[in-house]
Amino acid sequence: MKISPVWILVLPFAAACAAAGAAPAGAPARTAAVAVQCPAGVNNAATAFSHDAEQNLLKARLAGQNARQPLYQQALTQAQAGIAADANNPQHYYLAGQAHVVLGNYMAADSAFRRAETLCAAYGEETLPLRLQAYQTLYNQGLEAYQANDTAKAVAAWQGSTRIFDREPDPYFNLAILHTARGQYDQAVAMYNQTLTALERPGIDTSAAAVAARADLRPKIEAGLLNVGVQYFQVKNYPRAAEVFERLTRLNPNNRDAWYNYALALYQQERWPQLLPVARRVVQMDPLNENANIILFNALKNANQNNEALKVLQATEALPIKVTGVQLEPGEGRSVLRGQVEGNQARAGSPVRLEFTFYGSAGVLGAPQQVTVNAPVKGATTTFEVALQDPAPAVSYSYRVVR
């Protein structure tokens, strides 16, 4: 049987990171390290080193452009001297991290902040705006590098942005796309999973536009994972394809393409017992799809359920029409589904009414939409189109024959 997995086009990158709420470049958000309340037993007392480092950071904020970098470097030197003198005082690490951020040493800043936060968790509130500042710089550096066709630099910048601030999904999403384009499918799957994890964390920007942008990313993640699964399928890595498609069915149980491709990947491996419930789900969502019914027939036959297999075969031969070549074009405000029907057992010219249900990532969208097609002569085809008016784009569909 000729099988064709669903193909998804390459997705766009996430837009440039907004700078709302970040401190100006070169300006630490806070320097009052001594105000942080640490647990008993943690030495957070001010030292001569922390005093000098803090004073240089304050001076740098007021200095002219040319004088800033030497002052930040002096602050870093003092903070590092404090670390050497007392490696368990968190404010030395916090002040060193501030200097590293404005000097562009982002990974060193992350290491310093992590140590401060480990010694005294309350420093997490102090480091957050500084981490966000560094994240925004690195994220936009990645976009600039990508636009200059320097993908290696883009990857390094986006990887750095996720290390220093892991609560935004955009860099993970962009890395997933780049890994897919490079044929690094395992890394792409990992980055899509990280994107989903980041979406579960609260975003810094809580504006309506930012919340909407995060919601819009989820269907793009589903499409990206589907694309990676197809790439695995095309190179005949059916076990990994099945893993990706199965993951998608858990993310969105209404994703018809995920179920269909999952069935194909299992079929190629002859994993008949595992295929049975998957094939049944596909036929439930896409009942007039001949290939889906044949997959179910073969699964039943090879699982030694011959009576059930015969019933499916007879039902497949008795289909009034066959639905093929369905393409869903999602859109904000209007999603359109187009496809073909092939004549089978229904009398030529007789009406066949189909009722389509559309789904977004969060479930059913709007009311079911019906379309009536006149059955073609057996073997001939005709086209149909059905649209859904809804603010959210549709990512999948199912249908039934209306009797």
* CA–CA separation, 298 and 315 (whole Å): 14
Query: In Å, how far are 241, 346, 401 from 349, measured between CA atoms?
Result: 41, 8, 16
Looking at residue 211, what is its pLDDT?
A: 87
CA 220 to chain centre: 7
- Nearest to 180, CA basis, from 115, 242, 227, 245: 227
* CA–CA separation, 167 and 204 (whole Å): 8
Name the pairing type of β-strands 351-360 and 333-343: unpaired
pLDDT grade, residue 12 (50/70/90)?
low
Looking at residue 20, what is its pLDDT?
A: 35
Q: For 357-366, what is the mean pLDDT?
A: 94
Per-residue pLDDT reduced to its tens digit, 308-321: 999 999 999 999 99
Q: Is the pLDDT of residue 5 over 80?
A: no
Q: Is the pLDDT of residue 157 over 60?
A: yes
What percentage of the chain carries pLDDT values higher than 90? 84
Query: In Å, how far are 76, 82, 213, 238, 316 from 54, measured between CA atoms?
Result: 10, 12, 38, 58, 77
What percentage of the chain carries pLDDT values higher than 70? 92
pLDDT grade, residue 13 (50/70/90)?
low
Q: For 370-396, what is the mean pLDDT?
A: 95
Which domains does the chain show, CATH number per domain? 33-149 (1.25.40.10), 166-256 (1.25.40.10), 270-318 (no CATH), 322-402 (2.60.40)
H or E segment to which residue 318 belongs: none
DSSP 371: E
pLDDT grade, residue 284 (50/70/90)?
very high
DSSP 403: -
* CA–CA separation, 330 and 220 (whole Å): 11
- Nearest to 332, CA basis, from 388, 263, 370, 291: 388
The alpha-carbon radius of gyration of the chain (Å, integer) is 28
Per-residue pLDDT reduced to its tens digit, 231-274: 999 999 999 999 999 999 999 999 999 999 999 999 999 999 99
CA 183 to chain centre: 17
Strand residue runs (E) in 228-286: none
Looking at residue 206, what is its pLDDT?
A: 85
* CA–CA separation, 143 and 155 (whole Å): 10
DSSP 34: G
Contact 177, 217 (CB under 8 A): no
Q: What is the pTM of this model?
A: 0.84
pLDDT grade, residue 24 (50/70/90)?
very low
Looking at residue 65, what is its pLDDT?
A: 85
Looking at residue 119, what is its pLDDT?
A: 97
- Nearest to 129, CA basis, from 54, 204, 207, 209: 204
The pair of three-digit structure tokens given for residue 78, joined into one six-digit string:
């003092």
Average pLDDT along the chain: 91
The pair of three-digit structure tokens given for residue 174, joined into one six-digit string:
């962009």
* CA–CA separation, 80 and 42 (whole Å): 19
Measured CA angle at 105 (ends 213, 84), to 5 deg: 130
Per-residue pLDDT reduced to its tens digit, 63-113: 988 899 999 999 999 999 999 999 999 999 999 999 999 999 999 999 999
| Higher local confidence (pLDDT), 108 or 5 | 108
Looking at residue 205, what is its pLDDT?
A: 84
Per-residue pLDDT reduced to its tens digit, 111-144: 999 999 999 999 999 999 999 999 999 999 999 9
**289: which residues sit within 8 A by CB, 6+ positions away?**
260, 282, 283, 322, 323, 324
Name the pairing type of β-strands 381-390 and 333-343: antiparallel
Characterize 185-212 residue by residue with b for buried, 16 or more Cβ atoms within 10 angstroms of its Cβ, and e for exposed.
bebbbebbebbbebbeeeebeeeeeeee
DSSP 377: S
DSSP 204: S
Looking at residue 285, what is its pLDDT?
A: 98
Per-residue pLDDT reduced to its tens digit, 160-218: 999 999 999 999 999 999 999 999 999 999 999 999 999 998 888 888 888 888 888 99
Query: In Å, how far are 168, 171, 390 from 214, measured between CA atoms?
Result: 9, 13, 18
